């Protein structure tokens, strides 16, 4: 059985290899990164280990400013996410905000019922569970829990977007310079991102209405 | 992008392109993975059992999986401004709880980076509105280590040291949680580490936090092992 120390040595070795490869591919890579960041996109995603945003979007360091938490929630009273949004939108002036949920999400799945996950997680997931209660009739019609969890993930992305659109920095940037907010679902079983068209259309930011 | 001469049509085209790029990249990546490992996505669908929890900065230049060479499925990740772990923050506390109590991660890494904009902002005497309460936590780290930091005359070096001390204090904040103390008493894991990433060379620096020593030291006041 590998020891606890091996697991850490692996990360350090992985980092050495990353640094070497990046420098070989572009001798200026780290010089450029040292100068500063100007990401175009703020990515709000799930903490789930299977959805590493830079890898699944085939992006490079410097492309995506990132906040990840349990079930990619943006709660109106959460200062952690609100601070990330403020910094990314008002200071770094990102052009887009993406909220990305995913299939097989443990948080969305847990929100299908009311099992006790401990007080901290119960409180965090409460708004997602409320969504499930609110949309019970629609969810009951779906064939199985996998499908219901995906629908809850979609509803949760839309709810997060509704909260984001009330964030003062987002409101201002949307009016002043055309910032847009987009919902996505990442399909773990296929590796594909799917754009939630209605989240963009409903509030009329208009760029990507369904074809 | 050019300034005033820009036609709105061109801007829309540009926005569309920067948006489409993510989807094009994603399709390319999914095809490559499937070609390399046909079972890759089927296995990921079955569940996750990451060994690591990473608490890092939102900064776009330090994607955790890329700089550690890990594959999807290996690391549970929370990223916020200046990699802070505040005990009243339900967001980060939910992540720690889920990772420790449910996923049973073996290691927790708090990783900061030199040149952190959040730490810089906290060293600046300026009202930053909504960001004030969040950055206030970094000012408190400064106050805890005021004597040491004030002795550093070169401002860049003082900034670098505050980045390091901030990581150490956030690692201590994780050790103070009931989830970590109780799991360690029962399982001898997780171990909490503090690292700093440097953009100038792409390398991680281990601050060599003495986990057991820190645990003992905080438990004089913060012991939460009794259920």
pLDDT band at B6; cut points 50, 70, 90: low
Mean local confidence (pLDDT), B141-160: 97
Nearest chain A residue (CA) to B9: A207
Q: Is the pLDDT of residue A199 over 50?
A: no
> Cβ B66–A95 below 8 Å, yes or no?
no
B200 as an active site residue: the answer is no
If asked whether residues A115 and A71 sit together in one domain, one would say yes
A123 and A43 together in one domain? yes
Q: So what's the pLDDT on residue A113?
A: 97
Q: What is the DSSP string of B41-88?
A: HHHHHH----SEEEEEE--TT--HHHHHTPPTTSEEEEEEGGG---TT
Per residue, the 3-state secondary structure of A4-59, as one string, reads HHHHHHHHHHHHHHHHHHHHHHCCCHHHHHHHCCCCCEEEEEECCCCCCHHHHCCC
Question: Does B200 appear as a known binding residue?
Answer: no
Task: Look at residue A1 and tell me whether its pLDDT is greater than 60.
Answer: no
Annotated binding site of A for Zn(2+): 46, 48, 102, 105
Decide if pLDDT at A3 tops 70: yes
User: How large a percentage of chain B has pLDDT more than 70?
Assistant: 96
CA distances (Å), A100 to each of A144, A193, B157, in order? 22, 9, 38
Q: Is the pLDDT of residue A14 over 80?
A: yes
Query: Is residue A136 situated within a structural domain?
Result: yes
The pLDDT of residue B87: 95
The overall longest dimension of chain B from CA atoms, in Å, is: 67
CB contacts of B73 in chain A (<8 Å) are 49-50
Our CA-based measurement puts residue A210 at a distance from the nearest CA of chain B, in whole angstroms, of: 14
pLDDT in tens, B122-133: 999 999 999 999
Please give the pLDDT value at position A205: 38
Query: What whole-number distance in Å separates Cα of residue A164 and Cα of residue A74?
Result: 7
Q: Give B58 to chain A, closest Cα distance, Å.
A: 5
Q: Which of A7-11, A45-49, B88-92 has the lowest mean pLDDT?
A: A7-11
pLDDT at B37: 87
Q: Is residue A207 part of a domain?
A: no
Q: Which of A10, A29, A50 would you mutate first to test chain B, the one with the most B CBs within 10 A? A: A50
Per-residue pLDDT reduced to its tens digit, A157-170: 999 999 999 999 99
| Mean pLDDT computed over every residue of chain B | 93
Predicted local confidence at residue B157, as pLDDT: 97
pLDDT at A201: 45
Q: Which one of A49, A78, A84 has the shortest CB-CB distance to B77?
A: A49
- pLDDT given at position A2: 67
Let me know if residue A145 belongs to a domain: yes
Q: Which residue has the tokens 């772990």?
A: B85
d(CA B94, CA B90): 6
Question: Are the C-beta atoms of residues A53 and A43 closer than 8 Å to each other?
Answer: yes
Q: Which chain A residues are within 8 Å of B22, Cβ to Cβ?
A: 41, 57, 59, 98, 193
Interface test with B, best of A3, A5, A8, A11 (most B CBs within 10 A): A11
Q: What is the pLDDT of residue A90?
A: 97
- The reply to whether A46 and A6 lie within a common domain is no
| pLDDT, mean of residues B139-159 | 97
Q: Are residues A87 and A22 in the same domain?
A: no
CB pairs under 8 A between A and B: 249
Residue A211 within a domain: no
Closest CA to A40 of A165, A182, A164, A166: A182
Q: Which CA distances in Å does A47 have to A62, A65, A107, B92?
A: 19, 14, 10, 10
Q: Which domain holds residue A20?
A: 1-36
B37 interfacial to chain A (CB closer than 8 Å): no
**CA–CA separation, B31 and B9 (whole Å):** 33
Cβ neighbours for B73, distance < 8 A, ≥ 6 positions apart:
A49, A50, B43, B44, B48, B49, B50
pLDDT of residue A211: 30
Would you tell me how many other CB atoms lie within 10 Å of the CB of residue A197?
14
Ranking A71-75, A196-200, B118-122 by mean pLDDT, the lowest is A196-200
Residue A209: per-residue pLDDT: 32
Q: What is the mean pLDDT of residues A178-207?
A: 76
Running DSSP on this structure, what letter comes out for residue A95?
S
Could you tell me which residues are beta bridge partners of residue B110?
B55, B194
Assess B115–A contact: CB distance below 8 Å, yes or no.
yes
Ranking A5-9, A172-176, B126-130 by mean pLDDT, the lowest is A5-9
Whether residue A137 has pLDDT greater than 50: yes
Task: Calculate the average pLDDT of chain A.
Answer: 91
Decide if B150 contacts B165 (C-beta within 8 A).
no
| A70 and A90 within one domain | yes
CA–CA separation, A84 vs A44, rounded Å? 9
Contacts of B77 in chain A (CB under 8 A): 47, 49, 52, 68
B2 band by pLDDT with thresholds 50, 70 and 90: very low
Cross-chain residue pair A55–B66, CB shorter than 8 Å: yes
**Mean pLDDT, residues B57-64 taken together:** 96
The whole-number average pLDDT for the span A76-92 is: 97
- In terms of Cα–Cα distance, which of A109, A126, A133, A150 is closest to A75? A126
CA distance A156 to chain B (A): 16
Residues 6+ apart with CB under 8 A from A154: A101, A183, A185, A196
A15 & A46 share domain:
no
| Interacting residues of B31 by C-beta distance below 8 A, sequence separation 6+ | none
The confidence score (pLDDT) of residue B154 equals 96
* DSSP for residue B100: I
Same-domain check for residues A27 and A51: no
In chain A, the number of structural domains is: 2
Q: B89–A86: do the CB atoms touch at under 8 Å?
A: no
Q: What is the mean pLDDT of residues B57-75?
A: 94
Q: Any binding-site annotation on B116?
A: yes
Tell which residue, B103, B82, B65, B95, has the closest CA to residue B174.
Answer: B95
Could you tell me if A25 and A124 lie in one domain? no
Q: Does A152 share its domain with A115?
A: yes
Q: How far apart are CA B203 and CA A12, in angstroms?
A: 9
Domain CATH for A51: 3.40.1050.10
What distance in Å separates the CA atoms of residue B220 and residue B177, rounded to the nearest whole number? 14
> Same domain for A31 and A45?
no
What's the CA gap between A48 and B95, in Å, rounded?
Answer: 10
Mutation to test the A interface, candidates B42, B60, B64, B192, most A Cβ within 10 Å: B60
- Per-residue pLDDT of A15-55, as tens digits, reads 999 999 999 999 998 999 999 999 999 999 999 999 999 99
Strands of B75-80's sheet in order across: A192-196, A180-187, A96-102, A41-46, A64-69, B75-80, B52-57, B107-113, B191-197, B204-206
A107 occurs within a structural domain: yes
Query: Is A207 in Cβ contact with B30 (below 8 Å)?
Result: no
**In Å, how far is A141's CA from the nearest CA of chain B?**
23
Residues of A that are catalytic: 46, 48, 50, 102, 105
**Which pLDDT does position B168 carry in this prediction?**
98
Task: Identify which of B203, B170, B191, B173 has the alpha carbon closest to the alpha carbon of residue B62.
Answer: B203
Chain-chain contact of B67 with A117 (C-beta, under 8 angstroms): no
Q: Count the residues in chain A.
A: 211
The answer to the question of residue A210 being in a domain is no
pLDDT given at position B22:
83
Burial (Cβ within 10 Å: 0-12, 13-18, ≥19) of residue B180: buried
Distance of alpha carbon A23 from alpha carbon A43, whole angstroms: 26
Phi-psi bin for B122: left (phi > 0), alpha (psi -120 to 50), beta? alpha
**CB under 8 A, 24+ apart: contacts of B209-217:** B209/B168, B209/B171, B211/B175, B214/B171, B214/B172, B214/B175, B215/B175, B215/B181, B215/B184
How far apart, in whole angstroms, are the C-alpha atoms of residue B188 and residue B53?
16
Q: Are residues A26 and A102 in the same domain?
A: no
**Same domain, residue pair A6 and A97:** no
């Amino acid at each position: 059985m590998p020891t606890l120390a091996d697991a850490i040595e692996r990360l350090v070795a992985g980092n050495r290899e990353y640094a070497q490869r990046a420098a070989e591919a572009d001798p200026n890579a780290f010089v450029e990164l040292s100068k500063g960041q100007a990401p175009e996109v703020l990515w709000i995603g799930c903490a789930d280990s299977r959805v590493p945003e830079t890898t699944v979007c085939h992006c490079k360091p410097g492309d995506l400013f990132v906040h990840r938490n349990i079930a990619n929630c943006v709660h109106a009273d959460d200062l952690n996410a609100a601070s990330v949004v403020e910094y990314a939108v008002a200071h770094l002036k990102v052009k887009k905000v993406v909220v990305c949920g995913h299939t097989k999400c443990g948080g969305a799945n847990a929100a299908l019922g009311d099992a006790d996950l401990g007080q901290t997680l119960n409180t965090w997931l409460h708004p997602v569970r409320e969504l499930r209660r609110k949309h019970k009739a629609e969810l009951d019609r779906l064939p199985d829990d996998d499908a219901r969890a995906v629908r809850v993930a979609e509803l949760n992305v839309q709810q997060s977007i509704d909260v984001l659109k009330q964030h003062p920095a987002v409101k201002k940037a949307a009016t002043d310079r055309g910032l847009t907010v987009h919902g996505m679902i990442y399909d773990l079983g296929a590796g594909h991102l799917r754009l939630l068209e209605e989240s963009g259309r409903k509030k009329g930011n208009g760029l990507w209405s369904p074809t | 992008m050019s300034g005033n001469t820009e036609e709105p049509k061109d801007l829309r085209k540009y926005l569309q392109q920067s948006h489409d790029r993510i989807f094009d990249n994603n399709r390319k990546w999914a095809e490559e993975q499937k070609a390399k490992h046909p079972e890759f996505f089927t296995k990921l669908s079955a569940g996750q059992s990451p060994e690591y929890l990473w608490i890092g900065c939102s900064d776009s230049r330090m994607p955790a999986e890329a700089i550690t060479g890990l594959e999807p499925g290996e690391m549970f990740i929370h990223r916020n401004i200046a990699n802070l772990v505040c005990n009243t923050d339900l967001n980060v506390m939910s992540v720690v709880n889920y990772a420790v109590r449910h996923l049973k991660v073996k290691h927790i890494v708090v990783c900061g980076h030199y040149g952190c904009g959040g730490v810089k902002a906290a060293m600046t005497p300026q009202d930053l509105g909504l960001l004030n309460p969040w950055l206030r936590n970094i000012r408190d780290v400064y106050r805890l280590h005021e004597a040491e930091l004030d002795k550093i005359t070169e401002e860049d070096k003082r900034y670098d040291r505050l980045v390091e001390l901030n990581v150490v204090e956030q690692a201590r904040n994780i050790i103070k949680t009931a989830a970590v103390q109780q799991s360690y008493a029962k399982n001898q894991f997780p171990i909490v580490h503090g690292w700093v990433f440097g953009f100038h060379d792409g390398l991680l620096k281990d601050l060599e936090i003495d986990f057991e020593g820190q645990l003992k030291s905080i438990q004089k006041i913060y012991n939460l092992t009794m259920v």
